[in-house]
Amino acid sequence: MSKSKNNFETIGRLEHAIKAYGEVVAVSDISFSIKRGSIVGFIGPNGSGKSTSIRLLLGLIKPQSGIATLFGVDPFVNSQVKELVGYVPEESVFPQWITAEEYLTTFARYHLPREVAKRRANEVLKEVDLLDVANKRIRQFSKGMKQRMKIAQAFIHKPALVIGDEIFNGLDPLIRHNMFELIERYRSEYNTTFFLSSHILFEVERLTDKIILLYKGRTIAQGSPKKIRDLIQDQPHSIQITTDDNTKLASLLINYKESIDDKTVSSIQFQNDARTDDKQLLVLTHNPRQFYEQLTTLVVENEITIRELRSTDEGLENLFMTLTTG
């Protein structure tokens, strides 16, 4: 691009954007902006239009009406603007034969000189704690490791903007904490702007300057984390946890529950994951921020491996129904 990436106070913007696929309206009159140097959380239930909005911002699709801009231009007709963006897609698509170092080195060469690319690939592998498996084929990686590879790919060229679609999906609490610190460091050192979608409000709350709530393709609330937290604080929050020892974690949570009020751990039950039939825990909390902090401490101190951590949509759905129906 001819203009510096630092010349824009507003990095990205959707204004009254509408996008439909046939009779299905994915995004309906959506408006928001992303300020330079900010970390924005983009929150909504699955199917609310988050991925479509991201595709509009990236210029991968064009709105049927309304405006989409990225660094002051229409990204659909100005493809070079994408050089300023790092993208973490929701799905993992990696070549089966390639190693982590080879993949990132090859990817880095789209942005960096040949002699710099390999060094930068190893730097970013270290940043996401994968340097010790740099020569391992990505097909052998766990879900969480592949997620970190996607983050490394997005960060490889120190972009002006990182867009993450469910960026923390599949990461255990400790790795998630490390990725929070990495995001904060990139903003501090490189003035990187972040736009992070999630269906878990409290997953991104402590990182963000601004949160946008999306429901059925419309923005229904946006503002500071405190403003959004005040809206949702009375809503119950359900969390599904799959570990290598569900009984041990349940016992720890029960002991913790007995020493505090009933809001942080309101209830605990065992169930089967409807998708995989694995045994899992279902925890209900009215204080998810405190719960996530305590969960991280418990699993680290007791060496419990979390295979999957998912927030169900009930809490957000209740909030969105309240906001949309009054």
Q: Are residues 225 and 91 in the same domain?
A: yes
> What percent of the chain has a predicted confidence (pLDDT) above 90?
47
What is the separation, in whole angstroms, between the first and last Cα of the chain?
Answer: 46
Q: Please name the amino acid found at residue 196.
A: L
pLDDT of residue 3: 43
Q: Which two tokens stand for residue 239?
A: 């969390």
Question: Mean of the per-residue pLDDT values for the chain?
Answer: 86
- Residue bearing tokens 């002006």: 160
**CATH code at position 292:** 3.30.70
Residue 19 and residue 125: Cα distance in Å, rounded?
Answer: 37
Q: Beta partners for 19? A: 27
Residues 16, 66: contact at Cβ < 8 Å?
yes
Residues 199, 313: contact at Cβ < 8 Å?
yes
Instruction: Determine the 3-state secondary structure of 4 from DSSP.
Output: coil
pTM, whole model, 2 decimals? Answer: 0.74
Does position 168 have pLDDT exceeding 80, yes or no? yes
Residue 131 and residue 77: Cα distance in Å, rounded?
Answer: 38
Q: Are residues 107 and 11 in the same domain?
A: yes
Q: Are residues 203 and 112 in the same domain?
A: yes
pLDDT of residue 317: 59
The arithmetic mean of pLDDT across residues 54-73, rounded, is 94
pLDDT of residue 220: 84
Q: Are residues 44 and 190 in the same domain?
A: yes
pLDDT in tens, 243-271: 989 999 999 888 887 776 677 888 898 98
User: To 5 degrees, how large is the angle CA 138–CA 298–CA 313?
Assistant: 70
**Residues whose CB is less than 8 angstroms from the CB of residue 151 and which lie 6 or more positions away in sequence, other chains included:** 88, 128, 164, 167, 179, 182
Instruction: Determine the 3-state secondary structure of 78 from DSSP.
Output: coil
- Residue bearing tokens 């493809």: 79
Q: Are residues 153 and 68 in the same domain?
A: yes
Residues 218, 66: contact at Cβ < 8 Å?
no
Number of domains observed in the structure of the chain: 2
pLDDT of residue 211: 93
- Residue bearing tokens 């930068």: 120
Domain extent, residue 161, equals 5-230
Q: Are residues 100 and 180 in the same domain?
A: yes
Report residue 326's pLDDT band, with 50, 70 and 90 as the boundaries: very low
pLDDT of residue 226: 81
Residue 16 and residue 9: Cα distance in Å, rounded?
Answer: 20
Range in 54-63, 272-281, 296-305 with the lowest mean pLDDT? 272-281
Q: Which two tokens stand for residue 28?
A: 């309906």
Q: Are residues 190 and 242 in the same domain?
A: no
Give the residue among 28, 53, 29 at the shortest CA–CA distance from 41.
53
Give the phi and the psi of residue 191 in degrees, each rounded to 5: 55, 35
- CA 172, 173, 177, 183 dihedral sign is positive
> From the centroid of its chain, how far is CA 243?
21
Report residue 63's pLDDT band, with 50, 70 and 90 as the boundaries: very high
Residue 51 and residue 44: Cα distance in Å, rounded?
Answer: 10
Q: Are residues 290 and 196 in the same domain?
A: no
The arithmetic mean of pLDDT across residues 277-300, rounded, is 85
Q: Are residues 45 and 166 in the same domain?
A: yes
The arithmetic mean of pLDDT across residues 13-22, rounded, is 92
Residue at which a domain ends, from 230, 256, 291: 230
Residue 309 and residue 247: Cα distance in Å, rounded?
Answer: 16
Q: Which two tokens stand for residue 184?
A: 């904060």
Residue at which a domain ends, from 230, 254, 284: 230
The arithmetic mean of pLDDT across residues 92-115, rounded, is 89
Q: Please name the amino acid found at residue 101.
A: E
Q: Are residues 76 and 195 in the same domain?
A: yes
Q: Are residues 220 and 241 in the same domain?
A: no
Does position 43 have pLDDT exceeding 70, yes or no? yes
Q: Are residues 126 and 262 in the same domain?
A: no
**Residues whose CB is less than 8 angstroms from the CB of residue 186 and which lie 6 or more positions away in sequence, other chains included:** 155, 158, 162, 192, 194
Residue at which a domain ends, from 230, 245, 273: 230
The arithmetic mean of pLDDT across residues 92-116, rounded, is 89
The arithmetic mean of pLDDT across residues 149-167, rounded, is 95
**CATH code at position 138:** 3.40.50.300
Give the residue among 84, 61, 59, 60 at the shortest CA–CA distance from 71.
84
